[in-house]
Structure 1
Amino acid sequence: MGETLLDVKSLSCPLPVLRANRALRSMQPGERLRVLATDRASVSDFQAFCRETGHALIAFSEEGGVFSFVIRRRPEPAASGAG
């Protein structure tokens, strides 16, 4: 599975999370999205976003004022048993 890069440097809250959400919707379950952001608020924003949506925040780092988040798209919900 690949990793998609989303560069949202210079965008302010809530745009980084909104753009990431849009990108994740077009991805397959299990695929990874790497987000690059410069907004300090994005740290808590992405933690909350992943907690609330079920996507996995699998890596986070900061270097030179650029925050990098790796998010794994959540699996699709299991279908209800049709009898």
Structure 2
Amino acid sequence: MTRDNYECDVIVDARQDVCPMPLLKAKMALSKLQSGQLLAVEACDAGSWKDIPFYVEQVGHTLRHKNEKNGVYTFVIEKK
């Protein structure tokens, strides 16, 4: 599954969710991935723009990509 030129193992569609659900869905998906796998998260909640990168940094994952287009925030996260 490709998102913004990244071949992702899992894509979480949280575009219909409000805070804190996009972050919670991202955490749940990451817990099921193996080290090195990529997760894409799509959200429309503006809080996600800060919340998801902050969480990724705090727990040591790698934010490979962060983009906003037409009100949709896309994040590609590599699990540590």
Q: TM-score range by the shorter chain?
A: 0.7 to 0.9
Match of 1:29 among 35, 60, 63: 35
CA distance in 2, matches of 1:61, 1:40: 12
Q: How much identity, in percent, do the aligned residues show?
A: 34
Q: TM-score, normalised by structure 1?
A: 0.83
**In structure 2, what is the equivalent of residue 20 of structure 1?**
26
1:37-48 residue pairs with structure 2 within 5 A? 37-48=43-54
From the two aligned structures, give the one with the greater strand fraction.
Answer: 2
User: In the comparison of the two structures, how many residue pairs are matched?
Assistant: 74
What value does the CA root-mean-square deviation take over the aligned residues?
A: 1.2
Q: TM-score, normalised by structure 2?
A: 0.86
Runs of 4+ that moved beyond 2 A: none
Match of 2:75 among 69, 74, 83: 69
Letter in structure 2 aligned against 1:68 = T
List runs of 5+ in structure 1 lacking aligned partners. 75-83
